[in-house]
């Protein structure tokens, strides 16, 4: 059996992680780097700083948007088996879900548009006049106890931000897709993801329900003077970035709907197993030709104004031009994250997959730390 070699930039990456924890920018995390002939794995800092419980490689995290790629991969797995089609309309499965376009028309939304965030749905900005806030729509990281039917009804009652297919806008598309996948499965979204993704990959700690409370990381948030423990519902509003509402208690309430956009829990080790399956061709969950479709640009020339040089695939952001994006990844690389404090990248041309799960929002998701980790890996 082939034994991976130690990662050549391990000391450099260790220094980046140690500095971030020492500066109280990150409380703790699990960091994994994998390639065809090397591997790096490190758990650092604390899962619970106040109780002095160290981070471990099997620590469980609230996954937030790291949920999305696994839910998105479930759709093409169903498509391979003839249970779903990219051009299927949402109304086929959810007849009551018919939000209006800005012009007052009632357009159809396709599975493809949900997968690519071109459905016209968005996320709340937490502003007082935000229609999603007024409708009290749950994003899957707060609103514990909210049922799927209730949330979809609220979402359908708010007009779309754009006509489907005309604009890329990150948002609630995967929550709607998740509801559809549960219907196609004949049970729940959790059963669908388990059947097509997590069970075939032996991802035993990744699911929509938490079964081991003792291993769950305590969440922390950015604050002046460093990361502080979240206590109850908290609103994090970093300067120049979107505002987020967090409810750490949601994960404990099994009445909460299974959010396809943000509702899973899991370990970094499990998630690396998923990404590596995709990087290496898809087995045992997807055919190679399906993977090639899923990791390609799927939004054509639609502009992502927040991310020059990037487009979007079915599984995450897709790198079109590394020079414009100013990143060391090879063109065609994928990346995304999770607002509870996670970031990942999969660079098939370079043969490098990076997973960083932290318990610190937002620094572990889209702060300077993730660029420091990336640069240490690619140095």
- Please give the positions annotated as active site: 65
Beta bridge partners of residue 34, listed in sequence order: 39, 353
- Phi, psi for 87 (deg, rounded to 5): -95, 5
CA distances 236 to 219, 221, 246, 362, Å, are 13, 7, 8, 8
Burial class (CB in 10 A: 0-12, 13-18, 19+), 7: buried
129, 168, 142, 128: CA torsion to nearest 10? -10
Reference 66, options 370, 345, 363; nearest CA is 345
CA distance 341 to 159: 30
- Give alpha helix (H) positions in 283-344: 288-294, 322-325
Which of the 8 DSSP states describes residue 214?
Answer: G
d(CA 12, CA 18): 10
Best CA proximity match to 20, nearest among 265, 214, 220, 215: 220
Q: Write the DSSP symbol of residue 163.
A: -
Distance, CA of 318 to CA of 316 (rounded, Å): 6
Place of tokens 């994998």: 34
Strands of the chain, DSSP E: 5-6, 28-34, 38-48, 53-54, 61-62, 220-221, 228-229, 234-236, 244-246, 265-266, 310-312, 317-319, 334-338, 342-347, 352-358, 360-361
Please name the residue ranges forming H helices in the chain: 10-22, 67-80, 90-93, 111-115, 131-134, 148-156, 173-185, 189-193, 268-279, 288-294, 322-325, 363-366, 368-378
């Amino acid at each position: 059996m082939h034994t991976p070699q130690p990662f050549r930039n391990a000391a450099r990456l260790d220094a980046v992680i140690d500095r971030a924890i020492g500066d109280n920018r990150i409380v703790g995390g699990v960091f994994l780097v994998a390639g065809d002939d090397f591997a790096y794995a490190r758990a650092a800092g604390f899962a619970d700083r106040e109780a002095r419980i160290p981070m471990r490689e099997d620590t469980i995290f609230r996954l937030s948007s790291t949920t999305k790629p696994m839910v998105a991969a479930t759709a093409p797995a169903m498509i391979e088996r003839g249970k779903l089609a990219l051009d299927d309309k949402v109304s086929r499965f959810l007849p009551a879900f018919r939000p209006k376009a800005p012009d007052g028309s009632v357009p159809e939304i396709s599975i493809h548009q949900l997968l690519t965030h071109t459905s016209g749905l968005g996320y709340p900005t937490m502003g007082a006049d935000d229609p999603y806030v007024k409708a009290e729509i749950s994003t899957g990281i707060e609103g514990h106890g909210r049922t799927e039917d209730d949330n979809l009804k609220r979402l359908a009652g708010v007009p779309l931000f754009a006509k489907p297919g005309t604009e890329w806008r990150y948002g609630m598309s995967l929550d709607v897709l998740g509801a559809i996948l549960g219907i196609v499965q004949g049970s729940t979204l959790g059963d669908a993801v388990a059947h097509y993704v997590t069970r075939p990959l032996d991802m035993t700690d990744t699911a929509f329900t938490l079964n081991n409370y003792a291993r769950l990381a305590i969440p922390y948030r950015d604050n002046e003077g460093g990361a502080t423990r979240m206590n109850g519902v908290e609103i994090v509003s970093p300067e120049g970035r979107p505002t987020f509402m967090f409810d750490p208690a949601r994960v404990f309430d099994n009445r909460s709907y299974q959010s396809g956009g943000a509702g899973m829990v899991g370990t970094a080790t499990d998630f690396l197993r998923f990404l590596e399956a995709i990087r290496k061709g898809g087995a045992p969950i997807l055919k190679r030709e399906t993977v090639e479709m899923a990791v390609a640009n799927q939004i054509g020339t639609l502009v992502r104004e927040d991310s020059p040089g990037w487009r979007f695939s079915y599984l995450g952001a897709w790198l079109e031009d590394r020079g414009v994006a100013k990143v060391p990844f090879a063109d065609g690389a994928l990346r995304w994250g999770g607002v509870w404090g996670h970031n990942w990248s999969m660079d098939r041309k370079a043969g490098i997959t990076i997973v960083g799960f932290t318990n610190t929002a937002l620094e572990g998701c889209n702060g300077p730390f993730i660029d420091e980790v990336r640069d240490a890996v690619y140095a």
